[in-house]
Structure 1
Amino acid sequence: MSSLNIPQTCGVMLLPDCTLFPHGGLPLHIFEPRYREMLSDALQGSCFFAVARLTGKETKDPGRCTAPVGTMGLVRASRELDDGTSNLLLHGVIRVRFTEWLDSPYPKARIEPLPSVFEPESQAKAALEALHEASEIVTRELPDDVREALVAMTAQIDDPSILADVMAQQFLHNPDERQDLLEMESAAARVAWICKKFESGSPQ
């Protein structure tokens, strides 16, 4: 994270019932003119823009219709189509709080990065073990090849904060729970919530 230069302001894509977690991937089809302009500006600059969940009907003031916390994403791949629309993959980088919405042709905000650090560090190993157990439970009904690939992917992660976000992105489907978890300040609390949620084997 320290090698990334997080901008102080960025474009924001407002989406209903959509939550991107750090370290997760979100495929997007960009077709609205305002978001096409946002993507063009991002690609000419830092390649960052954020995703925010709409909490109601969109209004002229995004602060009144969006969740206060979203995720800054980095454009990993983008392909412009013949009609001017684009398909891209956005990789979640860091939670951000939207502190001020700016005048712009597309939604744009001043942001406050919200780094995620698991504390106390002495409990990190136990937290990882608990998350791996939860991962095995929640994937046990999946086809063997899919399950093995997911278990292998999670086994490579040695930070409980990152692993909790990856599991939330992959296995948690309820939009309200996803947003609540994204906004949870304590990484340890997120880990505990994930473990309790998935211990039954049902992420719904």
Structure 2
Amino acid sequence: MNVCVTSWPTTNKARSCSTVQEIALFPIPELVAFPGHEVPLHVFEPRYRKMVTDSVAAERPIGVCHTRKQIRAAPQLKTTEEALSTNQATYLPYEIFSAGPCRILETLDDGRIHAAIEMQARYRVISEVQTLPYKIVRAERLIDEDAEQEYPALQREINDSLLALIGEEHQQLRKILAANSWQEQSSSVFSYRIFQYLKFDADIMQQLLECNSIEARLHLVGGLLSGTPVH
């Protein structure tokens, strides 16, 4: 478990989403993103550079997902030029992921792209639309079954545990966690934003992402902070 003092930037903007959408998938081992996070990308593989440019042009969301296993190993490359012209390892992605609109921040002279994805919602894969050169899926948006419920006691318990964990050395983070704007946010927002500052093993983060209720997610976080084993 890691406590992170710095975090990806977030946004409070909301856009309407249909229940089912076509989404381009970017499998990245060990990376689990949550709604409300903005994920920075440094894209160099040809297929994913095409995915980013195609998706931005088509206004298609991009999903970033943790991976179950490697399907094909990366080739042995000796130069930067080879890396920029060759696709790397191929992975089997998890079916549940976060996604949102992508924007290109910079395209370098050698073709590499700096981009950012504004994660807006969780999705589950329904079917595959395209496999090559990159994966596009039809996916349904997931909404917590208790999306309108509030759990202030659970939020306070997690916040107090995190403050105790970080001690006095991280004053910047202590100020954030003590601020009214942090303590007064809804349980739904809190259950995702907490992962700006709290990181577990990627498989555990995936389990947290897949929780179908705010209460279950907060109970799991509280248990992890108290040392309760995850099953």
Q: What range describes the TM-score normalised by the shorter chain of this pair?
A: 0.7 to 0.9
Q: Give 1:165 deviation, angstroms.
A: 1.4
Aligned mate of 1:116, from 133, 136, 144:
144
Q: Give 1:38 deviation, angstroms.
A: 0.9
Residues 56 and 103 in structure 2, CA contact (< 8 A), matched pair in contact too: no
Equivalent-residue separation in structure 2 for 1:82 and 1:113 (angstroms): 37
In the alignment, what sits opposite 1:51? Answer: 64
SS of the residue corresponding to residue 182 of structure 1 reads helix
Residues 96 and 112 in structure 1, CA contact (< 8 A), matched pair in contact too: yes
* Structure 1 residues 44-193: aligned runs within 5 Å: 44-46=57-59, 48-58=61-71, 65-75=92-102, 78-103=105-130, 104-116=132-144, 118=146, 121=149, 123-140=150-167, 142-149=169-176, 151-152=178-179, 155=182, 158-193=185-220
Residues 132 and 155 in structure 1, CA contact (< 8 A), matched pair in contact too: no
In structure 2, what residue type is equivalent to 1:108? I
SS of the residue corresponding to residue 42 of structure 1 reads helix
Range with greater deviation from structure 2 (153-162 or 35-44): 153-162
SS of the residue corresponding to residue 65 of structure 1 reads strand
CA separation of 1:136 and 1:110: change in aligned 2, threshold 3 A: same
Equivalent-residue separation in structure 2 for 1:176 and 1:158 (angstroms): 27
In the alignment, what sits opposite 2:17? Answer: 5
> What is the TM-score of this pair, normalised by structure 1?
0.81
Equivalent-residue separation in structure 1 for 2:177 and 2:169 (angstroms): 10
Query: Which has the higher Rg, Structure 1 or Structure 2?
Result: 2
Q: Give 1:141 deviation, angstroms.
A: 5.4
Whose helix proportion is higher, 1 or 2?
1
Residues 22 and 61 in structure 2, CA contact (< 8 A), matched pair in contact too: no
Q: Give 1:117 deviation, angstroms.
A: 5.4
Residues 163 and 177 in structure 2, CA contact (< 8 A), matched pair in contact too: no
In structure 2, what residue type is equivalent to 1:114? L
Equivalent-residue separation in structure 1 for 2:133 and 2:188 (angstroms): 35
> What is the TM-score of this pair, normalised by structure 2?
0.73
Q: Deviations over 1:167-194 (max 9, x none)?
A: 1343123111011111111211001111
Residues 27 and 66 in structure 2, CA contact (< 8 A), matched pair in contact too: yes
Q: Give 1:154 deviation, angstroms.
A: 6.7
Unaligned ranges ≥5, structure 1: none
Equivalent-residue separation in structure 2 for 1:24 and 1:120 (angstroms): 21
In structure 2, what residue type is equivalent to 1:89? A
In structure 2, what residue type is equivalent to 1:133? D
Equivalent-residue separation in structure 2 for 1:194 and 1:4 (angstroms): 29
Q: Give 1:15 deviation, angstroms.
A: 1.1
Q: Deviations over 1:10-50 (max 9, x none)?
A: 11001111111111232211111111111112211326200
SS of the residue corresponding to residue 93 of structure 2 reads coil
In the alignment, what sits opposite 1:21? Answer: 34
